[in-house]
C-alpha cells in the first residue's frame, strides 16, 4: 500500500462531494452500515471461540437452515440502521416481510435491502462468508416505506456493496461511480482503500458453478459448460473450475481475476424453472457492482438490473462476471447454440 491512507469514510465523503446536490444522507447511512459490519466482523472472527456456531433449528423464509450468526448479523444491521433517520424501511433475506422503522424513530428517504450473512451453510467449516447490501431511493409518497419502495429494479439502485469475511475482511461498494474495495486493518479498526476502481477483466479463465446440478440444467447450460471445458482459442487451455459455494467469495474472486459465476434454474420441470438466488438481496446488488466494474450480469435472457421484482423473495437465474463470458452464455441460451455451432461461428469470424 502506498503512503496515502484513505479510510472508507473519507472516500464516501469525497464521492459525495462530486454531487453538490447531495444532502449527505447516503453518506451517513453508509457510515452506520459500516459500524454494523465491523461488529459482525468481530463476531465472525470469534465465532469458533464464542460457541455461537450451529443451527438454531428454525428455518428462514427460503427454507434454508438458519445459523445463529445469521440471526446475529440480521439483528446487528437492523439495530444499527433503525434509528439513523435515513431509512423509510428495510427488507432482509432473513425476514419474510418488509421491516418497518419503529414508530419512535425518524424516517428517511432510502430503503435498505440486505443479506446479512450469505453462504451461512459454510460457517461451521470456517469457509469465507459475506454480507450483501442494496440501497434504493424511496418512491412512495407517505412517510413509511412500502413494498413498492422495496420492489424496484436493480438499475435504480443508489448504492450496492458487499463485505467478504475472508483471509482479510474487505468491503466493496459502488454508488454508481466505479467500484472500490477497502480492507479492514484490524489493528486500527478502519477500512482502508486497497482496491481503487476495480475493473473486471473482459474475459476470464474461470467458471464457477455447482456442477452437481448438471442433471437439472437445460440443454443450453450444459452445452455452455461443455464448451468451456474444451480448448479456449484465446489461451489454448480449457477454463478452470472454482466453486466455493459462498456467493460473495465466488463473485469476488471472479471480479478480480475474470471469469463467470453461474447459478442457473433447475429446469427439470421446464414449465416451472426454479432459480435459487434472490433478486433483491443477492443478484441485483452484485449485478450493479459487476456492471460498474465493466462486467455483466444476466439471467441468460435478460439483464438482471432490468428485471422488475414482483415479490420480496423473488429468485432469478444468475450468470455474472466478465462481459465476454456472460455475452457468450447469453448466446447459448438465446440462440440455443451448441458447441459445434459456436466453434463454426468463431472459425467464420477468424
Ligand atoms: P444463503 O443465502 O442461504 O447462504 O444461500 C446462498 C448461497 C450462495 O452463497 C451460494 O452461491 C449458493 O447458495 C450455493 O448454493 P449451492 O450449495 O446449491 O451450490
Ligand atoms: Mg444469501
Q: With beta carbons less than 8 A apart as the criterion, state whether 238 and 228 touch.
A: yes
Q: With beta carbons less than 8 A apart as the criterion, state whether 148 and 139 touch.
A: yes
- Given the CA of residue 64, which atom of ligand 1 is nearest to it? 3
pLDDT of residue 345: 64
Pick the catalytic residue: 93, 149, 250, 291?
93
Straight-line distance from the first to the last Cα atom of the chain, in angstroms, rounded to the nearest whole number: 42
Q: Is the pLDDT of residue 66 over 60?
A: no
Confidence of residue 346 (pLDDT cuts 50, 70, 90): low
Q: Is the pLDDT of residue 55 over 60?
A: no
pLDDT of residue 57: 52
pLDDT of residue 47: 73
The mean per-residue pLDDT over the stretch 277-306 comes to 98
Q: Is the pLDDT of residue 269 over 70?
A: yes
* Residue 116 φ/ψ, nearest 5 degrees: -60, -40
Q: Order of strands, edge to edge, in the sheet holding 99-100? A: 99-100, 87-92, 110-118, 129-137, 157-165, 169-174, 180-185, 190-195
Active site residue 70: yes
Q: Which residue ranges form the domains of the chain, and what is each CATH number?
A: 8-195 (3.30.540.10), 206-349 (3.40.190.80)
Alpha carbon distances (Å) from 285 to 79, 222, 345: 22, 27, 34
Q: Max Cα separation, the chain?
A: 67
The mean per-residue pLDDT over the stretch 297-320 comes to 98
Query: Angle, nearest 10°, between helix axes 25-45 and 68-81?
Result: 150
- Protein residue whose Cα sits closest to atom 4 of ligand 1: 119
What is the Cα–Cα distance from 165 to 163, expressed in whole angstroms? 6
pLDDT of residue 175: 95
Range in 86-95, 115-124, 303-312, 315-324 with the lowest mean pLDDT: 115-124
What is the Cα–Cα distance from 334 to 300, expressed in whole angstroms? 7
Q: Which residues line ligand 1 (CB under 6 A)?
A: 64, 93, 115, 118-121, 210, 245-247, 276
Q: Is the pLDDT of residue 54 over 90?
A: no
For 274, which DSSP code?
B
What is the Cα–Cα distance from 173 to 54, expressed in whole angstroms? 30
* Distance between Cα 93 and ligand 2 center (Å): 7
Range in 9-18, 217-226, 302-311 with the lowest mean pLDDT: 9-18
Element (H, E) at 262: strand 260-263
pLDDT of residue 135: 98
Q: Is the pLDDT of residue 9 over 80?
A: yes
Pick the catalytic residue: 26, 33, 69, 117?
117
Greater confidence (47 vs 66) lies with: 47
Burial readout 18-40 (b: 16 or more C-beta within 10 A, e: otherwise): eeeeeeebbbbbbbbbbebbbbb
What is the Cα–Cα distance from 157 to 172, expressed in whole angstroms? 15
Q: Is the pLDDT of residue 13 over 70?
A: yes
Q: What is the DSSP pairing of strand 55-59 with strand 65-67? A: antiparallel
What is the Cα–Cα distance from 202 to 200, expressed in whole angstroms? 6
pLDDT of residue 235: 87
Confidence of residue 350 (pLDDT cuts 50, 70, 90): low
Helix (H, G, I), strand (E, B) or coil at 87: strand
- Protein residue whose Cα sits closest to atom 16 of ligand 1: 245
Confidence of residue 21 (pLDDT cuts 50, 70, 90): confident
What is the Cα–Cα distance from 275 to 95, expressed in whole angstroms? 19
Active site residue 117: yes
Helix (H, G, I), strand (E, B) or coil at 225: helix
What is the Cα–Cα distance from 140 to 152, expressed in whole angstroms? 11
The three three-digit cell numbers of residue 189, written as one number? 479498526
Q: Candidates 119, 163, 215, 321: which one to mutate for ligand 1, based on the most atoms within 8 Å of Cβ?
A: 119
Range in 167-176, 198-207, 231-240, 311-320 with the lowest mean pLDDT: 231-240
Pick the catalytic residue: 32, 43, 71, 94?
94
Q: Candidates 71, 210, 274: which one to mutate for ligand 1, based on the most atoms within 8 Å of Cβ?
A: 210
Confidence of residue 59 (pLDDT cuts 50, 70, 90): low
Element (H, E) at 169: strand 169-174
Q: Is the pLDDT of residue 337 over 90?
A: no
* Distance between Cα 311 and ligand 2 center (Å): 16
Mean pLDDT of the chain: 91
Alpha helix locations (H) across the chain?
8-17, 25-45, 47-50, 68-81, 147-150, 219-228, 247-257, 284-292, 323-335, 339-349
Q: With beta carbons less than 8 A apart as the criterion, state whether 156 and 308 touch.
A: no
For 18, which DSSP code?
T
Active site residue 93: yes
Angle at 165 between CA 210 and CA 240, to 5 degrees: 35
Q: Candidates 122, 166, 277: which one to mutate for ligand 1, based on the most atoms within 8 Å of Cβ?
A: 277
Kindly report, residue by residue over 189-218, the tens digit of the pLDDT. Answer: 999 999 999 999 999 999 999 999 999 999
pLDDT of residue 2: 52
Q: What percent of the chain has pLDDT over 90?
A: 78
Radius of gyration of the chain (CA): 20
- Given the CA of residue 120, which atom of ligand 1 is nearest to it? 4
Amino acid at each position: 500500500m502506498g503512503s496515502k491512507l484513505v479510510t472508507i469514510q473519507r472516500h464516501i465523503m469525497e464521492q459525495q462531494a462530486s454531487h453538490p446536490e447531495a444532502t449527505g444522507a447516503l453518506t451517513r447511512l453508509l457510515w452506520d452500515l459500516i459500524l454494523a459490519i465491523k461488529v459482525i466482523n468481530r463476531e465472525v472472527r470469534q465465532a469458533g471461540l464464542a460457541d455461537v456456531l450451529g443451527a438454531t433449528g428454525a428455518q428462514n423464509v427460503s427454507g434454508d437452515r438458519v445459523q445463529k450468526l445469521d440471526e446475529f448479523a440480521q439483528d446487528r444491521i437492523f439495530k444499527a440502521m433503525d434509528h439513523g433517520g435515513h431509512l423509510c424501511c428495510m427488507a432482509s433475506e432473513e425476514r419474510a416481510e418488509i421491516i418497518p422503522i419503529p414508530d419512535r424513530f425518524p424516517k428517511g428517504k432510502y430503503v435498505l435491502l440486505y443479506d446479512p450473512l450469505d453462504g451461512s451453510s459454510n460457517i461451521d467449516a470456517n469457509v469465507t462468508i459475506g454480507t450483501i447490501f442494496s440501497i434504493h431511493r424511496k418512491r412512495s409518497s407517505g412517510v413509511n416505506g412500502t413494498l413498492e419502495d422495496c420492489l424496484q429494479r436493480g438499475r435504480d439502485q443508489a448504492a450496492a456493496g458487499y463485505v467478504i469475511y475472508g483471509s482479510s475482511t474487505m468491503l466493496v461498494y459502488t454508488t454508481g461511480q466505479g467500484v472500490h474495495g477497502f480492507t479492514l486493518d484490524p489493528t486500527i479498526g478502519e477500512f482502508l482503500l486497497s482496491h481503487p476502481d476495480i475493473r473486471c477483466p473482459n474475459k476470464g479463465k474461470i467458471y464457477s458453478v455447482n456442477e452437481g446440478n448438471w442433471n437439472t440444467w437445460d440443454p443450453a447450460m450444459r452445452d455452455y459448460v461443455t464448451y468451456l471445458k474444451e480448448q479456449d482459442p484465446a489461451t489454448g487451455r480449457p477454463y478452470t473450475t472454482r466453486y466455493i459455494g459462498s456467493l460473495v467469495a465466488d463473485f469476488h474472486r471472479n471480479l478480480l481475476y475474470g471469469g463467470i459465476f453461474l447459478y442457473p434454474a433447475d429446469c427439470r420441470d421446464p414449465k416451472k424453472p426454479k432459480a435459487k438466488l434472490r433478486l433483491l438481496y443477492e443478484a441485483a446488488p452484485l449485478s450493479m457492482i459487476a456492471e460498474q466494474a465493466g462486467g455483466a450480469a444476466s439471467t441468460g435472457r435478460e439483464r438482471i438490473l432490468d428485471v422488475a421484482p414482483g415479490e420480496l423473495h423473488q429468485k432469478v437465474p444468475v450468470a455474472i462476471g466478465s462481459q465476454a463470458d456472460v455475452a457468450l452464455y447469453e448466446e447459448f441460451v438465446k440462440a440455443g447454440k451448441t458447441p459445434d455451432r459456436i466453434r463454426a461461428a468463431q472459425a467464420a469470424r477468424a
